[in-house]
Amino acid sequence: MSTELYDLTVPVFLRGFKAMSAFLEKARTWADENGIPHAELLEARLADDMAPLSSQIQRVSDGAKFALARLGQLEAPAMADTETSFDELQARIAATVAFLKSVPREAVDGREDADIEVKTPNRSFHFKGLPYVTTFALPNFYFHITTAYAILRHKGAPLGKMDFLGGI
């Protein structure tokens, strides 16, 4: 029996986006109730050399959409990385979710041995489909969701583990 790459990716990504959207909204509400400017959260980072919250959300989006595009040999929707508000980040999440929902199962399943290349400005990574999902795409996705969550917690937003997990 082959691994169902669709089941390892799309439902996992959708659940992550649902949780992230909810904890972003909870943080926005908390900021509004406490007179905290949104920019203070959106531009916050855990360390000087790390990307701010807005960029973490963008990387979650990119990680998910490019994973499915690479696996399914599809064109990922272009997104300019210009979001500067909670509304714009929520719109990006919604656009990414819409793309994920449009990916047909048959484009992804059965691609465990497909050659996948990830190009960065400094180097290229080469994977087969299944190791790409399990050792790169999923860890990268969770790294950026976790970092976004941690930035908001660090700034004082009243988030807990169940917010991160999506209220199971």
Q: What is the pLDDT of residues 97-152, one digit of tens each?
A: 999 999 999 999 999 999 999 998 999 999 999 999 999 999 999 999 999 999 99
Asked whether residue 94 is domain-assigned, the answer is: yes
Asked whether residue 165 is domain-assigned, the answer is: no
How many domains, in total, are found in the chain? 1
Count of Cβ atoms closer than 10 Å to residue 110 Cβ: 15
- Which contiguous run of DSSP H or E holds residue 23? helix 5-33
Asked whether residue 54 is domain-assigned, the answer is: yes
Token representation of residue 162: 């169940």
Asked whether residue 98 is domain-assigned, the answer is: yes
Position 165 scores a pLDDT of 92
| pLDDT (mean) for 21-47 | 98
- The single residue listed with the structure tokens 């991160």 is 164
Position 67 scores a pLDDT of 98
CATH number at residue 51: 1.20.120.450
Q: Which 8-state DSSP code applies to residue 70?
A: H
Asked whether residue 72 is domain-assigned, the answer is: yes
**Does the structure show a pLDDT above 80 at 65?**
yes
Determine contact, residues 14/100, Cβ cutoff 8 Å: yes
Residue 71 is part of which domain span?
5-160
Our measurement of the distance from residue 166's CA atom to the centroid of its chain's CA atoms, rounded to an integer in Å, reads 14
Asked whether residue 167 is domain-assigned, the answer is: no
How many CA atoms, within 13 angstroms, populate the side-chain half-sphere of residue 59?
19
Position 3 scores a pLDDT of 66
Task: Tell whether pTM > 0.85.
Answer: yes
Determine contact, residues 108/65, Cβ cutoff 8 Å: no
Asked whether residue 64 is domain-assigned, the answer is: yes
Share of the chain above pLDDT 70, in %: 98
Asked whether residue 168 is domain-assigned, the answer is: no
Nearest Cα neighbor of 26 from 128, 147, 153 is 153
